[in-house]
Structure 1
Amino acid sequence: MKTLWAILVVLILLLQVRLWIGEGSFAQVWALEQSIEDQQAENAKLAARNERLYAEVRNLRSEQGAVEERARMNLGLIREDETFFLVVEK
């Protein structure tokens, strides 16, 4: 009877070790859940950035004024009938 109890205690200890340490343990599952949450947050940020870029591309494709505005701001576009004034502050 004592050997049966000893075998059961050893078996329970082995199962506990597997539960707390090793592959599929609570610690590993917690770490994986944490990395999934981090990756989902990163994906949400990237999805928002992509949506902004897609909206900008749709705007540039559909409206001629958007292209002209972009050229004025970034490339210094000036039409033939316009006068350019450069104001320099001291």
Structure 2
Amino acid sequence: MKTLWAILVVLILLLQVRLWVGEGSFAQVWSLEKAIAEQRAENAGLAGRNDRLYAEVRNLRNEQGAVEERARMNLGLIREDETFFLVVEN
């Protein structure tokens, strides 16, 4: 009878070791859940950035004024019938 108890105790200990240390253990599951949460937060930030970029692209495709505004602000372009004045501060 004592050998049966000893075998049962050893089996329970082996199952516990796998539960706490082995593959699929609580520690591994917790670290994977943490990694998933971090990745979801990063994905949410990137999704927000993508939404802003898509809105900007739609604006540039649909409105000619947006393209003209970009050309004026970023490239310093002017129309043929306009006069350009450069104000230099002292």
Check whether TM > 0.5.
Answer: yes
Q: Distance in 2 between matches of 1:7 and 1:89?
A: 91
Matched, 1:77 2:77: yes
Deviation at 1:86, TM superposition (A): 1.9
The RMSD of aligned alpha carbons is 1.0
- Alignment correspondent of 2:65: 65
Deviation at 1:81, TM superposition (A): 2.5
Q: Distance in 2 between matches of 1:65 and 1:48?
A: 25
Equivalent residue letter for 1:84: F
Deviation at 1:84, TM superposition (A): 1.7
Equivalent residue letter for 1:20: W
The runs of 5 or more residues in structure 1 that have no matched partner are none
Extract structure 1 runs of 4+ deviating beyond 4 A.
Answer: none
Matched, 1:10 2:32: no
Partner deviation per Cα, 1:22-64 (whole Å, 9 max, x = no partner): 1110000001101111111111111111111110010001001
Equivalent residue letter for 1:17: V
The runs of 5 or more residues in structure 2 that have no matched partner are none
Partner deviation per Cα, 1:52-85 (whole Å, 9 max, x = no partner): 1110010001001000000001111111222222
TM-score, length-scaled by structure 2? 0.93
- Alignment correspondent of 1:44: 44
3-state SS, counterpart of residue 77 of structure 1: coil
TM-score, length-scaled by structure 1? 0.93
